[in-house]
């Protein structure tokens, strides 16, 4: 009975050699809003200590207060800021969920044009936001992750149709995650990528998703609904659980059937 209720907590031996439960320490980049906030809240509700990272200091602080997390402001694409964030974290970590990212083409003047300077800027922005952010954060905290821990990256269904810099960046993230799994495995860690389909209730589309496009995205699913942030949060929570220790190096699609693997 007791074992079941503590199965998601770490067990450590006390001075008497008895196993005692201690809460895990979980880092969520992009934890101030959207999917990251839902992921952070899920781990908190499971009893874990959670640290959230983001660039918008006020929003990050508000979310930290709301869900009972610790906030560390940091741009995950900036090597120096990531190094400082890692220094502030403390010695140990159990789970890192790299959620920070998004399609930076929404902020570019002409990402699909023919001006090569603009094309280069657009591709670099998406590679920074979606690939480098996870690479820098994971590299900075790898030595802190205790055996039994997990690395979880957030990709996208867009990687399956990688005609844009966003899709290509997420495809690269998936490839890197699969390779990372072999390094992680020797440390007793798992490394997986969750690839969401269309998820509502986020700021991903920056208010630029037309009703027609939204309907098309929902119609492409088998269950005819938008994904919810909790769909991703529950999947991340499972991948970090004791029951998922033999799942590593995988892309886990969460999209209502909009993309199937067969």
Nearer to ligand NAP, 107 or 242 (CB): 107
**Least separation in angstroms between CB 177 and ligand NAP:** 13
Which one among 56, 182, 183, 223 touches ligand NAP, defined by CB under 6 A?
56
Tokens of 99: 């959620």
Which one among 108, 150, 156, 248 touches ligand NAP, defined by CB under 6 A?
156
CB atoms within 10 A of CB 82: 24
Q: Choose one: 1-9, 74-82, 181-189, 235-243; the region binding ligand NAP (CB under 6 A).
A: 74-82
Q: Measure the CA–CA gap between 76 and 88, rounded to whole angstroms.
A: 14
Contact mark string toward ligand NAP, 158..197, x via CB under 6 A = --------------------------------------x-
Residue 126 engages ligand NAP in binding (rule: CB under 6 A) = no
Q: Choose one: 15-23, 39-47, 109-117, 198-206; the region binding ligand NAP (CB under 6 A).
A: 198-206
Which one among 25, 43, 102, 239 touches ligand NAP, defined by CB under 6 A?
102
Beta bridge partners of 132: none
**For helices 165-185 and 133-141, what crossing angle results, to 10°?**
20
CB atoms within 10 A of CB 31: 32
Task: Check the CA dihedral 64-67-70-76 and report its sign.
Answer: negative
State which residue has the least CB distance to ligand NAP.
34
194-230 burial code (b ≥16 CB/10 A, e <16)? bbbbbbeebebeeeeeeeeeeeebbebbeeeebbebb
Q: Choose one: 40-48, 54-62, 184-192, 242-250; the region binding ligand NAP (CB under 6 A).
A: 54-62
Tokens of 95: 């789970």
| Binding region for ligand NAP (CB under 6 A) | 29-30, 32-36, 53-56, 59-60, 75-77, 99-102, 129-130, 133, 154, 156, 196, 198-199, 202-204
């Amino acid at each position: 009975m007791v074992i079941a209720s503590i199965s998601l907590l770490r067990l450590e031996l006390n001075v008497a050699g008895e196993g005692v439960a201690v809460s895990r320490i979980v880092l969520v980049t992009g934890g101030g809003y959207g999917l990251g906030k839902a992921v952070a809240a899920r781990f908190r509700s499971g009893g874990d200590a959670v640290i959230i990272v983001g660039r918008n200091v006020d929003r990050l602080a508000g979310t930290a207060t709301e869900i009972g997390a610790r906030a560390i402001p940091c741009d995950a694409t900036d090597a120096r800021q990531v190094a400082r964030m890692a220094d502030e974290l403390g010695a140990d970590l159990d789970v890192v969920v790299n959620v920070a990212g998004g399609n930076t083409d929404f902020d570019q003047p002409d990402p699909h044009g023919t001006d090569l300077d603009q094309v280069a800027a657009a591709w670099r922005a998406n590679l920074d936001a979606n690939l480098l952010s996870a690479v820098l954060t994971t590299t900075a905290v790898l030595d802190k992750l205790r055996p039994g821990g997990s690395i979880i990256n957030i990709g996208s269904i867009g990687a399956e149709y990688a005609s844009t810099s966003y899709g290509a960046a997420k495809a690269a993230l998936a490839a890197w995650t699969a390779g990372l799994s072999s390094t992680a495995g020797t440390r007793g860690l798992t490394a997986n990528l969750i690839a969401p389909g269309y998820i509502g209730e986020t700021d991903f589309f920056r208010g630029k998703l037309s009703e027609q496009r939204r309907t098309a995205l929902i119609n492409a699913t088998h269950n005819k609904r938008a994904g919810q942030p909790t769909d991703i949060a529950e999947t991340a929570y499972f991948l970090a659980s004791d029951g998922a220790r033999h799942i590593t190096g995988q892309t886990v699609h969460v999209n209502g059937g909009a993309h199937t693997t067969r």
